[in-house]
């Protein structure tokens, strides 16, 4: 609450940025002027972008929304942000996010929550969440405070906030964007991607962000397709899979109605809908909430007060006491919960029952998609089971919060490209998103179907 109030007092009522770097954006504009004169314009010359706080940015605070990294200014730049800079882009600042990207509402951030620029049309002024974990990214684009931003998506963190704020965001195939210099949450799931106002801007940004990087062992050694040049909203001959298991009880009628409208829009563009089955869908959420915390508990072991950021030294304590005090003070409640779950499912007595089992189910979920893509070219679902909810509404109920990821998580476990595009407004005047999942490496198919919808 303190950091949030400070942000509001500083004139940042949405609290979307954690650090602002206007000098960087200005230098980018000046470089673009010079490039224009010398006929040397690059694809992103003069475009200032917001960068999610878990990308390492050289000399600029990179804290992943956590107190444990307060004040950490990396001496290096993440590959993705370096790629964007090389293409001429500048930086407006670092964007607020859930701590270590764990959350669906941006309320776990050490900097306080982000407020969505959207309000319900009931005349009230209730503060809504922009979604998470890329909540600052989503709010900044929706409010016109950045033309485009980076996000990351481990289990929906690009797509759900894009849906909540009426913008577009794409998570590419796992391995398209280098994870080097991105604070690791769950390494087998983490992917960077762009969020922007429309599909074309996402295609332009993704083209510059992606590419092979020898410093990330899971980076795909493939050329980056020319996604922008390949954009076409003609979907003739495309079969759109509609997974029957995504008709979930308790999802509001409005969301199902939007899904049906989405099917009609894709038909209008020439596509043919086909019913498909993804039978292991109902195990995706529990599988994700074993694998992601397991990997997180291992990745977060490095925050020990020795290497980066915060250090707490209790009087007369030894090294172990320093570790414990630093981690107790530095991590927030959700991060501690994930570490507890993760170490539990990885512990000797429970490893087979939980972690090994989850890996097996993950393989079945991947197989579901492989079989589905024998019958269709793309899959259409809603992005999230609700529109944006109010601040504090779900913070005391982690399970309700986790349920928000129900449509997003299967594509993450399978490493598939997936995008949220705005589908319209609900009866409260809030944006709803449609979710397109593509086969491995078929970002183009996803972008094109998105173009047909928007």
Catalytic residues: 52, 133, 157
Shortest distance, position 188 Cβ to ligand GLN, whole Å: 13
185/303 with CB nearer ligand GLN:
185
User: What character string, x for contact with ligand GLN (CB under 6 A) and - otherwise, covers 161-200?
Assistant: ------------------------x---------------
103 binds ligand GLN (CB under 6 A): yes
Map tokens 């999230």 to a residue.
384
User: What character string, x for contact with ligand GLN (CB under 6 A) and - otherwise, covers 310-349?
Assistant: ----------------------------------------
Considering only 24, 53, 107, 153, the residue that binds ligand GLN (CB under 6 A) is: 153
Report residue 283 as tokens. 């195990």
Shortest distance, position 438 Cβ to ligand GLN, whole Å: 18
**Are 255 and 382 contacting, i.e. CB atoms less than 8 angstroms apart?**
yes
Query: Strand 378-382 relative to strand 431-438: parallel, antiparallel, unpaired?
Result: antiparallel
Shortest distance, position 352 Cβ to ligand GLN, whole Å: 23
Q: How far apart are CA 423 and CA 255, in angstroms?
A: 10
**Are 134 and 167 contacting, i.e. CB atoms less than 8 angstroms apart?**
no
209 binds ligand GLN (CB under 6 A): no
Reduced 3-state DSSP string for 106-126: CCCCCCCCCCCCCCCCCCCCC
207/334 with CB nearer ligand GLN:
334
Is the torsion defined by CA of 227, 203, 210, 377 positive or negative? negative
Shortest distance, position 424 Cβ to ligand GLN, whole Å: 24
Scanning 95-103, 201-209, 257-265, 417-425 for contacts with ligand GLN by CB under 6 A, the matching segment is 95-103
129/133 with CB nearer ligand GLN:
133
**Are 171 and 411 contacting, i.e. CB atoms less than 8 angstroms apart?**
yes
Scanning 147-155, 215-223, 391-399, 420-428 for contacts with ligand GLN by CB under 6 A, the matching segment is 147-155
Q: How far apart are CA 171 and CA 174, in angstroms?
A: 8
Considering only 45, 96, 109, 133, the residue that binds ligand GLN (CB under 6 A) is: 133
- The closest of 260, 141, 151 to 206, measured between CA atoms, is 151
Q: How far apart are CA 251 and CA 246, in angstroms?
A: 10
Residues across the chain: 454
Q: How far apart are CA 434 and CA 454, in angstroms?
A: 10
99 binds ligand GLN (CB under 6 A): no
Considering only 88, 155, 225, 445, the residue that binds ligand GLN (CB under 6 A) is: 155
Tell me which DSSP letter residue 85 carries: H
Distances (CA, A) of 219 to 176, 188, 447: 6, 11, 21
448 binds ligand GLN (CB under 6 A): no
DSSP per position, 416-449? --EEEEEEEE-TTS-EEEEEEEESTT-HHHHHHH
User: What character string, x for contact with ligand GLN (CB under 6 A) and - otherwise, covers 285-314?
Assistant: -------x----------------------
90/193 with CB nearer ligand GLN:
193
405 binds ligand GLN (CB under 6 A): yes
- The residues of the shown chain that bind ligand GLN, judged by CB under 6 A, are 101-104, 133, 153-157, 185, 292, 405
């Amino acid at each position: 609450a303190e950091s949030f109030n400070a942000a509001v007092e500083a004139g940042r009522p949405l609290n979307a940025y954690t650090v602002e770097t206007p000098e960087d954006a200005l230098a980018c504009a000046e470089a673009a002027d010079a490039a224009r004169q010398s006929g040397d314009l690059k694809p992103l010359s003069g475009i200032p972008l917001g960068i999610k706080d878990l990308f390492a940015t050289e000399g600029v605070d990179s804290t992943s929304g956590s107190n444990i990294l307060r004040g950490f200014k990396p001496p290096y730049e993440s590959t993705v942000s370096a790629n964007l800079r090389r293409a001429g882009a500048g930086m407006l600042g670092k964007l607020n996010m859930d701590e270590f990207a764990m959350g669906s509402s941006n309320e776990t951030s050490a900097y306080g929550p982000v407020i969505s620029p959207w309000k319900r049309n009931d005349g009230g002024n209730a503060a809504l969440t922009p979604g998470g974990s890329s909540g600052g990214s989503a709010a900044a684009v929706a409010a016109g405070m950045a033309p485009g931003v980076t996000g990351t998506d481990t289990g929906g963190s690009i797509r759900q906030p894009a849906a909540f704020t009426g913008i577009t965001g794409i998570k590419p195939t796992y391995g398209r964007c280098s994870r080097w210099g991105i604070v690791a949450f769950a390494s087998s799931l983490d992917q960077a991607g762009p969020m922007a106002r429309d599909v074309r801007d996402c295609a332009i940004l993704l083209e510059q962000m992606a590419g092979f990087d020898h410093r990330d062992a899971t980076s795909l050694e493939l050329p980056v397709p020319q996604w922008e040049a390949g954009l076409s909203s003609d979907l003739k001959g495309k079969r759109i899979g509609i997974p029957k298991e995504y008709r979930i009880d308790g999802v509001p009628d409005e969301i199902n109605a939007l899904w049906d409208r989405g099917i009609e829009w894709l038909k209008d563009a020439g596509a043919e809908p086909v019913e498909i089955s993804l039978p292991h869908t109902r195990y995706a959420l529990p599988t994700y909430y074993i694998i992601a915390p397991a990997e997180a508990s291992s990745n977060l072991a490095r925050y020990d007060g020795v290497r980066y950021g915060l250090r707490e030294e209790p009087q007369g304590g030894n090294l172990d006491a320093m570790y414990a005090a630093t981690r107790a003070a530095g991590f927030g409640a959700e991060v501690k919960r994930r570490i507890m779950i993760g170490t539990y499912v990885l512990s000797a007595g429970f490893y087979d029952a939980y972690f090994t089992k989850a890996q097996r189910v993950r393989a079945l979920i991947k197989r579901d998609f492989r079989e589905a893509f024998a019958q269709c070219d793309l899959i259409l679902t809603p992005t999230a089971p609700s529109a944006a909810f109010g601040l504090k509404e779900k913070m005391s109920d982690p399970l309700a919060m986790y349920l928000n990821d129900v449509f997003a998580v299967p594509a993450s476990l399978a490493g598939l490209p997936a995008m949220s595009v705005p589908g319209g407004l609900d009866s409260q005047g809030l944006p709803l998103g449609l979710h397109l999942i593509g086969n491995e490496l078929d970002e183009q198919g996803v972008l094109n179907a998105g173009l047909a919808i928007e």
